[in-house]
């Protein structure tokens, strides 16, 4: 599939200090379509010198430019203009996201709608005054707590939700008055390049947004190691997050980390069976399981487990796997042959650990799909907590099944993870539902729902799932420093060292 004719897809180069330029010491990379392995386009990538230029431009725009002090209403207006442009290019962007990630067009459209919503949300939130007057007990003192932009932010995003994850960072960073250097995943940079083109068109001042596509090894590391970056906001794998945190610590650079998950889905015996089966399938197999909050660990009451798993297996086998651009496809390919090899290794591991395969466990037979990175929805029954496939993020369409008999056991299994990003609970008993959602140690817990979110509510993880929160007011606070201003309106001699 060749998309290079689409105006938003042509690689315009790096975006540095308000200009599209060719890399000085970077290179180029072919971006592939996971649906058929074809080359979508060639993008320019930054090298270390280009990253230094980007950081210097962001630093200058922060230190001497107008953006940090631009009235909130004007910053809000820019975000709204970006949202309008995104809306006007909704279909183009969805097609680009589908071509680059493999996800279905329906999912891509939902992603773009969420992206538009997040720009609109922060355009609104930033206009709300959060400064606070403090009563010091001294009527001569005006004490205020105010919020100011953090400074230069490096924004590093993963390949599974490229535009969505980057927007969760860019929108609040711009709202707060920060300047940013943006690094998309080398695997899926196209929608972020398109977004920066739209941000440019919306009239962002030079240097406020800079784009440096490239690898984590080169571009990500150069951003992480820079003493001139004030905040690294990273979404990706837990081991990469740990590496970034340890490198950033050398300069005491702030980090915000949104990392992986191994998310339990607890199904009690009284749950409505039809909606529970549907939610477990969607939670596990949407975007072929390449979702940080995928519900890949089913914990089901023993009394209904056999019937429930049989129905899951029947329905999983019927999921239509195919190219994301084909409206008949219900889920698309994995993002690359390399990633599929990792998923296949987990399936082999599950079998060697003694899990019982009840669905999938192989590539599709259809010869029309042979060139793409497809893998069938896979279910392992008879799993237990000691298995690596139960504890590790497989990031593919693999669902494991464990059984419980008591509520306490279900909660203990749900919390038996190094991660803590998201969890789901299904029960018809509201009192039990409330007890269980409060007992689960995860950043988002759904009761009788799964995988949904709103830009106004915080998103992030406990444990190895990260540090900090995106979305909601906390997602704006990540990009702000808190400053206390103390104004004595009646200065007088203090008394400590006075001579009289
Ligand atoms: P990844 O390999 O950790 O990469 C994430 C980003 O970091 C990419 O842009 C990558 O660049 C870059 N990177 C890699 N090594 C780096 C380094 N040493 N220094 C700085 N940057 C570096 O993760 P991924 O495979 O793209 O994404 C999947 C992971 O993201 C999963 O674990 C998933 O759970 C997690 N995720 C979490 C959330 C959440 O909200 N918590 C949301 C989405 C995804 P390259 O691509 O160029 O290597």
Question: Considering only CA atoms, which of 422, 79, 413, 132 is closest in space to residue 262?
Answer: 422
Tokens of 365: 């037979």
Element (H, E) at 142: strand 141-149
DSSP for 400-440 reads EEEEESSHHHHHHHHT-SS--SEEEEE-S-HHHHHHHHHHS
Atom of ligand 1 nearest to the CA of 261: 34
- Which of 111, 236, 442 maximizes ligand 1 atoms within 8 Å of its Cβ, making it the mutation to test the pocket? 236
Atom of ligand 1 nearest to the CA of 292: 34
Q: What distance in Å separates the CA atoms of residue 227 and residue 214, rounded to the nearest whole number?
A: 20
Atom of ligand 1 nearest to the CA of 214: 47
The Å distance, Cα 185 to ligand 1 centre, comes to: 7
Total residues found in the chain within this entry: 500
Candidates 97, 107, 186, 258; catalytic one:
258
Q: What distance in Å separates the CA atoms of residue 157 and residue 182, rounded to the nearest whole number?
A: 8
Per residue, the 3-state secondary structure of 304-372, as one string, reads HHHHHHHHHHHHHHCCCECCCCCCCCCECCCCCHHHHHHHHHHHHHHHHCCCEEEECCCCCCCHHHCCC
Q: What is the pLDDT of residue 260?
A: 96
Q: What is the pLDDT of residue 499?
A: 67
Atom of ligand 1 nearest to the CA of 236: 30
| Cβ 334 under 6 angstroms from ligand 1 | no
Question: What strands, in cross-sheet order, belong to the sheet with 19-21?
Answer: 19-21, 14-16, 209-211, 179-183, 152-156, 231-235, 254-258, 466-467
- Is the torsion defined by CA of 203, 175, 194, 59 positive or negative? positive
Q: What is the pLDDT of residue 9?
A: 58
Cα 480 from chain centre = 20
Candidates 107, 292, 470, 478; catalytic one:
292
Q: What distance in Å separates the CA atoms of residue 2 and residue 397, rounded to the nearest whole number?
A: 27
- Which of 100, 192, 193, 216 maximizes ligand 1 atoms within 8 Å of its Cβ, making it the mutation to test the pocket? 216
Per-residue pLDDT tens digits of the chain, which is 500 residues long = 434 445 555 678 999 999 999 999 999 999 999 999 999 999 999 999 999 999 999 999 999 989 999 999 999 999 999 999 999 999 999 999 999 999 999 999 999 999 999 999 999 999 999 999 999 999 999 999 999 999 999 999 999 999 999 999 999 999 999 999 999 999 999 999 999 999 999 999 999 999 999 999 999 999 999 999 999 999 999 999 999 999 999 999 999 999 999 999 999 999 999 999 999 999 999 999 999 999 999 999 999 999 999 999 999 999 999 999 999 999 999 999 999 999 999 999 999 999 999 999 999 999 999 999 999 999 999 999 999 999 999 999 999 999 999 999 999 999 999 999 999 999 999 999 999 999 999 999 999 999 999 999 999 999 999 999 999 999 999 999 999 999 999 998 888 887 65
Residue pair 317/367 in contact by the 8 Å Cβ criterion = no
| Cβ 261 under 6 angstroms from ligand 1 | yes
Residue pair 56/22 in contact by the 8 Å Cβ criterion = no
Residue pair 35/2 in contact by the 8 Å Cβ criterion = no
Q: What is the pLDDT of residue 5?
A: 46
- 178 counts as catalytic: no
The Å distance, Cα 6 to ligand 1 centre, comes to: 27
Cα 19 from chain centre = 27
The Å distance, Cα 241 to ligand 1 centre, comes to: 8
Start-to-end C-alpha separation, the chain: 87
- 243 counts as catalytic: no
Question: What strands, in cross-sheet order, belong to the sheet with 132-134?
Answer: 132-134, 141-149, 480-488
The Å distance, Cα 189 to ligand 1 centre, comes to: 13
| Contacts with 373 (C-beta within 8 Å, 6 or more apart), sequence order | 34, 37, 102, 333, 334, 335, 336, 337, 339, 340
| Cβ 422 under 6 angstroms from ligand 1 | no
């Amino acid at each position: 599939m060749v998309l290079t004719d689409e105006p938003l897809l042509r690689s315009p180069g790096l975006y540095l200090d308000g200009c599209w330029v060719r890399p000085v010491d970077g290179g180029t990379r072919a971006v592939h379509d996971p649906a058929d392995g074809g080359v979508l386009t060639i993008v320019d990538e930054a090298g270390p010198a280009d990253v230094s230029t980007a950081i210097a431009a962001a630093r200058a725009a922060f230190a001497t430019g107008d953006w940090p002090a631009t009235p909130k209403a004007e910053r809000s207006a820019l975000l709204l203009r970006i949202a309008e442009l995104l809306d006007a290019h909704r279909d183009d962007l969805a097609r680009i996201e589908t071509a680059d990630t493999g996800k279905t067009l329906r999912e891509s459209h939902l992603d773009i709608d969420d992206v538009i919503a997040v720009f609109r949300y922060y355009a609104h939130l930033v206009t709300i005054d959060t400064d606070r007057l403090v009563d010091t007990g001294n009527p001569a003192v005006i004490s205020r707590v105010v919020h100011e932009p953090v400074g230069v932010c490096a924004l590093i995003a993963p390949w599974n939700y490229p535009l969505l994850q980057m927007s969760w960072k860019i929108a609040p960073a711009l709202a707060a008055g920060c300047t940013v250097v943006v690094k998309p995943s080398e695997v899926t940079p196209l929608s972020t390049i398109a977004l920066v083109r739209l941000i440019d068109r919306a009239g962002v001042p030079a240097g406020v947004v800079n784009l440096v596509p490239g690898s984590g090894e080169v571009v990500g590391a150069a951003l992480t190691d820079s003493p001139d970056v004030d905040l690294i906001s990273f979404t990706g794998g837990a081991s990469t997050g740990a590496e970034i945190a340890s490198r950033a610590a050398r300069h005491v650079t702030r980090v915000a980390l949104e990392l992986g998950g191994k998310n339990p889905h607890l199904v009690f015996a009284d749950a409505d069976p039809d909606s529970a089966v549907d939610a477990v399938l969607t939670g596990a197999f949407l975007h072929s399981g390449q979702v940080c909050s995928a519900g890949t660990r089913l914990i089901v009451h023993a009394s209904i487990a056999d019937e429930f798993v049989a129905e899951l297996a029947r329905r999983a086998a019927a999921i239509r796997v195919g190219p994301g651009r084909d409206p008949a496809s219900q889920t698309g390919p994995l993002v690359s042959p390399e990633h599929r090899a990792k998923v296949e290794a987990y399936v082999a591991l599950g079998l060697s650990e003694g899990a019982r395969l009840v669905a999938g466990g192989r590539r599709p037979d259809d010869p029309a799909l042979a060139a793409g990175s497809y893998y069938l929805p896979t279910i392992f029954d008879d799993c237990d907590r000691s298995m690596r496939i139960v504890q590790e993020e497989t990031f593919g369409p693999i669902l494991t099944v464990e059984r419980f008999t008591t509520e306490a056991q279900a909660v203990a299994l749900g919390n038996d993870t190094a991660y803590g990003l998201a969890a789901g609970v299904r029960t018809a008993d509201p009192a039990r539902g409330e007890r269980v959602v409060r007992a689960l140690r995860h950043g988002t817990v759904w009761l009788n729902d799964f995988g949904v979110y709103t830009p106004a509510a915080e998103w992030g993880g406990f444990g190895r799932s990260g540090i900090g929160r995106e979305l909601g007011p906390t997602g704006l606070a990540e990009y702000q420093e808190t400053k206390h201003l103390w104004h004595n309106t009646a200065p007088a001699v203090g008394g400590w060292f006075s001579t009289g």
